[in-house]
Structure 1
Amino acid sequence: MIEILCATYNGMRHLREQIASIEAQTLTDWHATFFDDGSTDGTVEMLKALALRDDRFSLVQNSTNLGFCRNFLNNLSKLENADAYAFSDQDDIWYPDKLERAFNWLARVDAATPAVYFARTEIVDEHLNHAGLSPEFKLEPSFFNAIVQSIGGGNTMMFNSAARNLVMDTLPEFQLISHDWWFYIVVSGCGGIIRYDAEPVLKYRQHAGNLVGANNSISGQIVRLWRAFRGQWRAWNAVHELAIKTFEERLTPENRAAFQAFQRARNGGWPFERLSVFKRVGIRRQSELQTRFLPIFALLNRL
């Protein structure tokens, strides 16, 4: 059985369409739990009615507002004994075979090995008009990429019990950046398997004023680099550095060495070392342009 976790917050406008796409899945052995974060728009009432008439759905109301990352990760600890788990946003439209495609891959992995599947998305506007696809990443997923970049959207993810247990065991007490990025870091870092599917699995709805980052254009890369120069990457990496230290002994030897080299590059090693770490160790982003800027940002204390 697959347990679907859907975080909701004032999602009444589009949630019914998402629920309909879950109900239309070709793989039918699933249960969906909605974790509501304090909705005031009728979302809770609608989900209560849904759970009463269909036992495939459940509703949990958070006692305090958790935010999207903690909503997913904290509540994942309450769910056990599923064969696999899938995250869901409240306003996407899943392709009918989304669950089946992911589960067919997971079923071929040894159950004792932490494994995570994620995929590309079709970008759509509020009215579901096609606006493009998310970037097609060419480099194989790895800790050397995960330490500097998130490439797997949580709304596409499915993972097995071994991955769930590993992430729960390594969850720090402080706030993380995002649940999907944390899965990528932990599972790849501790020797698990990551599968990136280049075929899209859902319609990812972008709202007015937010239809950006849907492609890997030069202009989009320049925007990301500008944000890095302003300190965004360094702020994210500071959180991840502290969090990874809490389970550093569980990293594979190769990944532990990469993490330690990355720390030296970020935190004041010799200039030559800070420039050479990324090429020598193999830490890189999916974009060659952005990878070339990593040592420069390290020297400028922006990494």
Structure 2
Amino acid sequence: MKTVSIVLCSFNGERFLKEQIESIVCQTYPIHEIIFQDDGSTDRTLEIAQTYADQYPFIRICRNTENLGFNRNFENALKKATGDFIAIADQDDIWYPQKIEKQVQAIGTHDLCISGYHTDATYQPGHMKKAVIPHHNLEYLLFYDSTPGHSMLLTREFAHRAFSLWDGHILYDWWLSVNAHLGNGIACVNEALNWHRPHQGSAIHKLNAQYASYLVKKPTWQPYLYGFKKFREQQHLATWNFFYGYIHQQTTPHKQALAHRLSGLLLKKDLWSLFQLCSLCMRFKRLIYFYPQQKGLISYVRSFCYPMIRAYGNTYFYL
């Protein structure tokens, strides 16, 4: 059997950690090892982890000597895994028993396998209603990190290869998904295999609070007006230019042609290029905008303005 390493990164996660670890050690697929890497917690996180490590010899606890932040913490921990496959775990979710088993069955020759997940406010086994199946084609991923790390199983070789080119500022899971498309592709299990706990203490919530405090709960005109300003602002960031420059170099007019053209336009700062970008988003809205519930004229308007709409709440490039 292929061996599976679990990488679980933590930071002050004592409130939810027990439930997550319990759901991992109860997987139907054998666990080769759990790399538990803490980023300088000041609560009882390490004490809880040590309790489980005393029960399960395959749990290996690592503690950073300095706070790396969630992005570099995951990258560093992934490099320590020795299994054929690596599954990524947040500290605050709950995995369903067959998560690893089903993803191992599905990954095939792909670099990466993702799965769906539930986002209900509370965990009620057998009664979960809000399932997210990530839309994950490359053109969609140019604008949105839709494949969170907790949904991922990947090969160890791919992880090492992808991070050899990483600059440290692009979200680690976004980087993995894009590079999988540039390599052997992504497989997907089209059912929810874990509960992703929604709460204000998550890393993404903190990132949004720091860099997008201007967001309103139910935006109307704001994404169009402020989105244009944020789009222009982000185009001058080094992370933006690294990310889209990399994709543009790795694709060609003959291989992944639409992603190649989109990434090239995202790098240009003149108004004509922006108009071309918006026109492509409208033309290929089923691949890029992907909002089948919205039809008619408004769907064309929103898909045309999609680069600005996404830029309005985008904090990915500020790491």
Same fold per superposition (TM over 0.5)? yes
> Which among 191, 203, 207 is matched to residue 195 of structure 2?
203
- Per-residue deviation at 1:20? 0.9
Give the corresponding residue for 2:58: 56
- Per-residue deviation at 1:205? 1.5
Unaligned runs of 5+ in 2: 206-215, 313-319
Give RMSD over aligned pairs: 3.5
Q: Report sequence identity in percent.
A: 23
- Residue 125 of structure 1 pairs with residue 127 of structure 2: no
TM alignment of 1:102-251, pairs within 5 A:
102-106=103-107, 108-109=108-109, 114-125=110-121, 128=124, 132-136=129-133, 141-172=136-167, 174-176=168-170, 178-188=171-181, 190-207=182-199, 223=219, 226=222, 230-231=226-227, 239-246=239-246, 248-251=248-251
Distance in 1 (CA, whole Å) between partners of 2:224 and 2:201 is 21
- Size of the aligned set, in residue pairs, is 284
Structure 2 SS opposite 1:205: coil
Give the corresponding residue for 1:296: 305
The one-letter code sitting in structure 2 at the alignment partner of 1:254 is: K
Distance in 2 (CA, whole Å) between partners of 1:38 and 1:234 is 36
Structure 2 SS opposite 1:87: strand
The one-letter code sitting in structure 2 at the alignment partner of 1:55 is: P
TM-score for the superposition, normalised by structure 1:
0.78
- Per-residue deviation at 1:149? 1.9
Give the corresponding residue for 1:287: 291
* Superimposed CA distance per residue, residues 163-184 of structure 1 (whole angstroms, 9 cap, x where no aligned partner): 2133112211x422x3222212
| Alignment check: 8 A CA contact 2:71 2:172 kept | yes
- Per-residue deviation at 1:281? 6.7
* Superimposed CA distance per residue, residues 116-169 of structure 1 (whole angstroms, 9 cap, x where no aligned partner): 1112212233565866324345x6x32111111222221121011342133112
- Per-residue deviation at 1:267? 2.1
The one-letter code sitting in structure 2 at the alignment partner of 1:42 is: R
| Alignment check: 8 A CA contact 2:248 2:259 kept | no
> Which among 9, 16, 23 is matched to residue 11 of structure 2?
9
- Per-residue deviation at 1:280? 5.6
Give the corresponding residue for 1:94: 95
Give the corresponding residue for 1:25: 27
Unaligned runs of 5+ in 1: 214-219
Structure 2 SS opposite 1:242: helix
* Superimposed CA distance per residue, residues 85-128 of structure 1 (whole angstroms, 9 cap, x where no aligned partner): 1110112111100000001112x32xxxx521112212233565
Distance in 2 (CA, whole Å) between partners of 1:299 and 1:34 is 39
Give the corresponding residue for 1:216: none
Distance in 1 (CA, whole Å) between partners of 2:102 and 2:244 is 31
In 2 relative to 1, CA 243–78 (structure 1 residues): closer, same or farther, beyond 3 Å?
farther
- Per-residue deviation at 1:230? 3.3
Give the corresponding residue for 1:217: none
Distance in 2 (CA, whole Å) between partners of 1:103 and 1:224 is 42
In 2 relative to 1, CA 4–230 (structure 1 residues): closer, same or farther, beyond 3 Å?
farther
Distance in 2 (CA, whole Å) between partners of 1:300 and 1:42 is 41
The one-letter code sitting in structure 2 at the alignment partner of 1:184 is: S
| Alignment check: 8 A CA contact 1:117 1:158 kept | yes
Structure 1 SS opposite 2:132: coil
Distance in 1 (CA, whole Å) between partners of 2:310 and 2:18 is 46
In 2 relative to 1, CA 224–153 (structure 1 residues): closer, same or farther, beyond 3 Å?
farther
* Superimposed CA distance per residue, residues 193-241 of structure 1 (whole angstroms, 9 cap, x where no aligned partner): 112322100122223699xx9xxxxxx9965984575346666775344
More displaced, 256-265 or 94-103?
A: 256-265
